[in-house]
Amino acid sequence: MQLIEISKPLYRKRLNIVIVSFITAFLFLSLGLGSLIISFFGDLLIENAAGEMELNNFRYNLLGVLLALLACAAVLHQIKNKPFFKEIYYVWSLKQLHNKIYRKVKKIKLSAKNEDVNALIILNFYYHSRKQVYLLDDNTLTIPELEKDIRQLDEVADCLNLTISLSQFDQSLLASY
């Protein structure tokens, strides 16, 4: 995966549209499907703690919520490669890659201390891509620490007379850690 420049205002605008649309669709589908299922299978009488009989359609409402969630997820899966979702899907994919790297980051950092070039390439990509995501999501609290990590990595590369670029990164590098 290569880093690409994306417009923060466009990304935020489209992400907000997707979030609001998802929540709205999920809400109406949950209520509608729950009501529809209850109308077909409802009116289940159970005895409450006081010994009285009452209607309990919780399981049908829960089924409506689960079906609505599946329907919304299926729609998102179908339209994820449309041009409107380019920035959103890119950031989502980048976050998934961050999770893969994070699970191996201790081994990668240890290898980087032992002057492993592949580890340095991975860390370089990891730090720069995290910075991009943090800036897009307005998560600026940890950016100073991240910039410090980037500077330290650049110093290590300079000491080893290495030129490390973001284009050198490939996911297959993670397989050896």
> For 76-90, how does the pLDDT look when each residue is reduced to its tens digit (9 = 90+)?
999 999 999 999 999
| pLDDT tops 60 at residue 112 | yes
Single out the residue of 134, 132, 136, 128 nearest to residue 165, CA to CA.
128
**pLDDT of the residue at 18:** 95
How much is the average pLDDT of 149-168?
A: 92
What is the rounded (10 degree) CA torsion for 17, 23, 27, 30?
Answer: 120
How much is the average pLDDT of 16-40?
A: 94
**Per-chain mean pLDDT for the chain:** 91
**pLDDT of the residue at 40:** 84
How much is the average pLDDT of 8-34?
A: 96
At 2, phi and psi to the nearest 5? -110, 145
Judge contact between 72 and 25, C-beta under 8 A.
Answer: yes
**pLDDT of the residue at 144:** 93
**pLDDT of the residue at 13:** 96
What is the rounded (10 degree) CA torsion for 92, 93, 99, 101?
Answer: -150
Judge contact between 33 and 64, C-beta under 8 A.
Answer: yes
- Give the model's confidence band at 56: pLDDT under 50 very low, under 70 low, under 90 confident, else very high: confident
| Least confident among 11-20, 51-60, 140-149 | 51-60
Instruction: For residue 57, give both structure tokens.
Output: 């359609």
**pLDDT of the residue at 89:** 94
Judge contact between 33 and 72, C-beta under 8 A.
Answer: no
Residue bearing tokens 């417009």: 7
Q: Where are the chain's structural domains?
A: 8-85, 104-176
Judge contact between 49 and 122, C-beta under 8 A.
Answer: no
Judge contact between 100 and 173, C-beta under 8 A.
Answer: no
**pLDDT of the residue at 71:** 97
